[in-house]
Amino acid sequence: MRIDTLITDARIASMVPGDTPYGVIEDGAIAISGNTISWVGERRDAPTAFENAHSLEGRWVTPALIDCHTHLVFAGDRSDEYERRLAGESYAEIAKSGGGIAKTVEATRQANSAQLAAAALRRLEALAEEGVGTVEIKSGYGLTIDSELTMLKAARGAGIASGMRVSPTLLAAHSIPREYQGRSGAYIDEVCIPLVRQAAQEGLADAVDAYCEGIAFSPEETRRLFIAAKAAGLPVKLHADQLSDTGGARLVAEFGGLSADHVEYTSEEGLQAMANAGTVAVILPGAFYSISETQKPPVARMRELGIPMAVSTDSNPGSSPMVSLLTAANMACTLFGFTVEEAVAGMTREAARALGLQDKLGTIETGKIADLAVWDIERPAELVQWIGRRPLHGRILEGEWV
């Protein structure tokens, strides 16, 4: 195979599980052919025929980071809610009084696709400066057929404008819109399920998500939605057990779901189901921190059970107003007891798995897409130790420097 670029003089944290932490190759080389990694190994064994060579001058290289749970398409502002929480109201109380997600819905319904994409682009750029190459973006602030479709299109548009890979998720079942108050089942049947079918037919979403919680949808409603998603050929994931144990993790695992996200209140039974199904736990410390949650996700037990763990920003205007994946990784370690290696895997290999992209992304391995992040650091742990530092030297996406 013709090699377009041979990257040399690289300290590679391949994130391939094996004998060395981080899958490290100390004096490594990476061959790129088109958009694909065609060879990885020790520099002394590297192929000798290639078009261009590019020395990293001893810099570290990891897979480009992946933020696998965001709500970064939205309009409006929720800083008033922050002040209310500081004054003692809870996230759930604010939601019940018509604030929270409902407030963002009002603003988002007023915005057009171009406005939404422009606002999302700025947030994507902040993630890009930290080495992120792939971002999952959920709908869920439109809650009508048209405005949910507008959000999905805005997510794609922002992705194209940013040069990043965006994986859109349909989250119509995020909140019960005011016109369906008291009729959440009708909202599922009349809006969410038709949207699932349309999104699948038109290729507008890669997965279907829901918010299964006392202040949102019941397990029975979530199940109906998941049955429709499966029938339409779309994988499922779930905002599960964030504020209480609703059996959400067990439910999404039963459907072979990609991920159960938040999982602060997940029971032993839910964890067993996730382990059996290979469902990824997506840990969202920004939301835990921002809403002053005290129940931590059962990280030690998940580790014991071999549940894959990803870490993500949950970037959104209410419960997790953050555009820093490296800060989320730092929080996962300091607040929840992740090791640094787990945190880095959680932003790469396991985040790819949470998106069903583990065959294409998330490690530096032959055959994977050449999405890489190059860093000015001495050790991988520096990535996670610092807050607010951006040690990125540059990104290679689909084999090209950006």
Which of Fe ion, ligand NIG, none binds 104 (CB below 5-8 Å, type-dependent)?
ligand NIG
Min dist CB 159 to ligand NIG, Å, is: 20
SS3 state of residue 208 = strand
Measured over the CA atoms of residue 11, residue 14, residue 18 and residue 21, the dihedral's sign is positive
Q: How many residues are listed for the chain in this entry?
A: 402
Quick one: which of 354, 268, 288 has its CA closest to 91? 288
- Packing angle of the helix pair 193-202, 219-232 (nearest 10 deg): 30
Whether the Cβ atoms of residue 201 and residue 229 lie closer than 8 Å to each other: no
Q: Name the minimum Å distance from CB 175 to ligand NIG.
A: 8
Residues 331-360 that bind Fe ion (CB under 5 A): none
Query: What residues between 88 and 127 interact with ligand NIG by CB under 6 A?
Result: 100-101, 104
Q: Give the one entry of Fe ion, ligand NIG, none that residue 266 binds, where binding means its C-beta sits below a cut-off of 5 to 8 angstroms depending on kind.
A: none
Residue 314: CB minimum distance to Fe ion, A: 5
Residue whose CB is less far from ligand NIG, 316 or 363: 316
Task: Measure the CA–CA gap between 137 and 140, rounded to whole angstroms.
Answer: 10
Instruction: Pick between residue 4 and residue 209 the one whose CB is nearest to ligand NIG.
Output: 209
DSSP state of 291: T
Q: Which two tokens stand for residue 296?
A: 């931590």
Among ligand NIG, Fe ion, none, the one that 319 touches (CB under a kind-dependent 5 to 8 A) is ligand NIG
**Binding residue (CB under 6 A) for ligand NIG from 4, 148, 264, 314:** 314
Among 136, 206, 209, 314, indicate the residue that binds Fe ion (CB under 5 A): 314
Indicate the pairing of strand 259-262 with strand 237-240.
parallel
Using CB under 6 A, which of 8, 279, 313, 316 touches ligand NIG? Answer: 316
Which stretch, 48-56, 318-326, 361-369, 394-402, contacts ligand NIG (CB under 6 A)?
A: 318-326
Q: How far is the CB of 254 from ligand NIG (least distance, A)?
A: 21
Tokens of 276: 């059996």
* Segment near ligand NIG (CB under 6 A); pick from 115-123, 153-161, 313-321, 380-388: 313-321
**C-alpha to C-alpha distance for 340 and 384, rounded to whole angstroms:** 7
Residue 143 has, within 13 A of its CA and on its CB side, a CA count of 27
Q: Does the protein bind ligand NIG through residue 320 (CB under 6 A)? A: yes
219-248: which residues touch ligand NIG (CB under 6 A)?
A: 239, 242
Could you tell me the two tokens for 324?
């820093």
Residue among 203, 38, 68, 205 at smallest CA distance from 133:
68
Question: Among ligand NIG, Fe ion, none, what binds residue 363 when CB lies within 5 to 8 Å by partner kind?
Answer: none
Binding of Fe ion by 264 (CB under 5 A): no
Q: How many CB atoms lie within 10 A of CB 179?
A: 10
Binding ligand NIG (rule: CB under 6 A), the pick from 319, 324, 330, 363 is: 319
Question: Which listed option, ligand NIG, Fe ion, none, makes contact with residue 187 (CB within 5 to 8 Å by class)?
Answer: none
Shortest gap between Cβ of 372 and ligand NIG (angstroms)? 29
Q: What minimum distance in Å lies between the beta carbon of 235 and Fe ion?
A: 17
- Between 235 and 317, whose beta carbon lies closer to ligand NIG? 317
Binds ligand NIG by CB under 6 A, chosen from 13, 287, 309, 343? 287
Compute CA distances 275 → 230, 270, 304, whole Å.
20, 9, 10
- Please give the Cα distance from 105 to 86 (Å, whole number): 23
- 42 closest CA partner among 14, 19, 68: 14
Residue with tokens 């420097």: 401
* Interacting residues with ligand NIG (CB under 6 A): 71, 100-101, 104, 211, 239, 242, 287, 314, 316-320
* Interacting residues with Fe ion (CB under 5 A): 314
